[in-house]
Amino acid sequence: MDSFIEVPPDSDFPLENLPWGVFEADGPNGPTTHVGVALGDHAISVTALQAAGYLADLPGAPPGVFSHGRLNEFMGAGRPAWVAARQQLQRLLGAGEGALRDDESLRRRAIFKQADVVMRLPCAVGDYTDFYTSRQHATNAGAMFRGLENALHPNWLHLPVGYHGRASSIVPSGVDVRRPWGQVMPPSGGSPAFAPSGQVDFELEVAAVIGPGNPLGEPIPVSRAWERVFGLVLLNDWSARDIQKWEYVPLGPFNGKNWVTQISPWVVTLEALEAAGARCAPPPQTDPAVLPYLRDDAPYTYDVDLAVDVTPAGSAVATTLTRSNLRHLYWTFPQMIAHHTAGGCNLRPGDLIGSGTISGDEPGSRGCLLELTWAGRDELELRYEPDLAAGGAAPLAAAAGLGSHGAAGVEGKGAGEGAAGGRRDGVVMRKYLQDGDRVTLRGWCGRRGGAGGAPRWVGFGACSGALLPSLGR
């Protein structure tokens, strides 16, 4: 599909994608908030298009559904409205359609360069639940602390384990985050101390954004759960491992997790993933067989490649520390939703369902530093080249927020490799994140260009943030 707006061949956002988001742009009377879609390097204001008379009669959607500065109302309208809006936008933005292309005044009001806008959260997130659904991640984490024979708790293969996260501290990509304080137990034991976390980690996740919810007391069947998913985003569940380790018994994570969670700002729809040919079968669940309420007669997930790049403080280059894939998850999003609502819990438009850390079978596919360094036993090599434009000098003389977050990084070494310690020219070592380090999550599926009839490349954009120093106390 071709658009009258130029789309770079390596863009995450071709006309087949059109992910939804919310952005702020300068207007004649100051900044204005727009609901829109991404196309190439541009952000298209659907708010302006609807105000001009387009997308006026979407099935199930109220009038002016894009005028609220958030996507919740549109998310709640359901798939017929989503598909109708997508089809109308693809026609309006297509190469052969002149209604928008030839209307210079409307183009000025509706088409913005992404570099000139500020991305906001795509919706008001009322509730956020994070699951623990990667068998490889759960096995690795359990083996570190309980031994391989007791790695998985007895319930893990019978239900998708989850906990309620903190919605108020969810931020979009581009927001830098601050190292948290909390109670930590010194390595030598004794009494806990209140101090900045020394073990800040990332977690590579994908989250489902809920569309139509369910009434209180009425579970969502697993076979109908995908119908409730508006789309997917990348999610970085920033974690303070030392705080988490001391506090998590018996009720699970609290301050080690609640200080910030970061998501990519553009929501990729299931229709876009289908257009990229990303549907695939999930891992088998035969030993043991799952209970009937979690059993889907035609289960599927999506083949979405994932990567994490880390740019050391003061460096101009990133290192790709891990590559994984959404298909590695043992439990699917429909199973998470069916289990979440099994007792009658109601979900609402804009709720966020996190997958948990997504790890694969190989060391280079582990989805967090806890796994990549095996709880700090090993060190990772990160490429370092001074970012002279940002004032970079020595590898560890970092200022908050320095670094670049390009589309891809140089491949790094996983756990068990490059663990000699120290540093040398062009390389810095890490066990956990240091102040000024930038973490960038990426996701994509399909093929660039869609040559030869192949599905078109569909990407998620970046989920990126740098670690700022803790506040003085």
Q: Are residues 63 and 178 in the same domain?
A: no
d(CA 361, CA 135): 9
Q: Are residues 108 and 142 in the same domain?
A: no
Q: Are residues 302 and 425 in the same domain?
A: yes
Q: What is the pLDDT of residues 87-101, one digit of tens each?
A: 999 999 999 999 999
Give percent above pLDDT 90 in the chain. 87
Nearest C-alpha neighbor of 126 from the set 63, 224, 213, 220: 213
d(CA 341, CA 159): 13
Task: State yes or no: cis peptide before 288, omega within 30 of 0.
Answer: yes
Q: Are residues 143 and 50 in the same domain?
A: no
The answer to whether residue 30 is domain-embedded is yes
Q: What is the pLDDT of residues 218-256, one digit of tens each?
A: 999 999 999 999 999 999 999 999 999 999 999 999 999
Q: Are residues 257 and 209 in the same domain?
A: yes
In total, the chain counts a number of residues equal to: 473
Per-residue model confidence (pLDDT) at position 45: 99
Q: Are residues 418 and 341 in the same domain?
A: yes
Q: What is the pLDDT of residues 399-453, one digit of tens each?
A: 322 222 233 454 443 333 323 334 567 999 999 999 999 999 999 998 765 555 5
What are the C-alpha distances in Å from 294 to residues 132, 156, 196, 299, 336?
16, 13, 41, 10, 9
Q: Are residues 149 and 252 in the same domain?
A: yes
Distance of CA 102 to the CA centre of its chain: 36
Q: Are residues 179 and 100 in the same domain?
A: no
Q: How many distinct structural domains can be found in the chain?
A: 2
> How many helices, marked H, and strands, marked E, lie in the chain?
9, 27
Cα four-point dihedral sign 209, 213, 216, 218: negative
CATH at 144: 3.90.850.10
Distance of CA 171 to the CA centre of its chain: 11
Q: Are residues 207 and 284 in the same domain?
A: yes
- Which residue, of 62, 91, 120, is where some domain finishes? 120
What is the Cα Rg of the chain in Å? 22
pTM score: 0.92
**351 burial type by CB count under 10 A (0-12 exposed, 13-18 middle, 19+ buried):** buried
Q: Which residues are annotated as a binding site for Ca(2+)?
A: 130, 203, 205, 237
The domain in which residue 52 lies consists of 20-120
| Number of Cβ atoms within 10 Å of the Cβ of 21 | 26
Q: Which residues are annotated as a binding site for substrate?
A: 132, 146, 244, 248, 357
Q: Are residues 334 and 462 in the same domain?
A: yes
- List of residues 6+ apart from 322 with CB closer than 8 A: 204, 307, 308, 364, 365, 366, 367, 372, 414
d(CA 392, CA 389): 7
Range with the poorest average pLDDT among 339-343, 387-391, 433-437 = 387-391
Mean pLDDT within 30-55: 98
Cα four-point dihedral sign 241, 245, 247, 248: positive
Q: Are residues 181 and 96 in the same domain?
A: no
The answer to whether residue 6 is domain-embedded is no
- Which residue, of 120, 152, 180, is where some domain finishes? 120
Q: Are residues 47 and 151 in the same domain?
A: no
Q: What is the pLDDT of residues 324-333, one digit of tens each?
A: 999 999 999 9
The answer to whether residue 393 is domain-embedded is yes
CATH at 112: 2.30.30.230
- Which residue, of 61, 92, 120, is where some domain finishes? 120
d(CA 469, CA 458): 35
**Roughly how many angstroms between the first and final C-alpha of the chain, as a whole number?**
56
The answer to whether residue 7 is domain-embedded is no
The answer to whether residue 400 is domain-embedded is yes
- The distance between the two most distant Cα atoms of the chain, rounded to a whole number of Å, is 72
**Active-site residue numbers?**
137
The answer to whether residue 38 is domain-embedded is yes
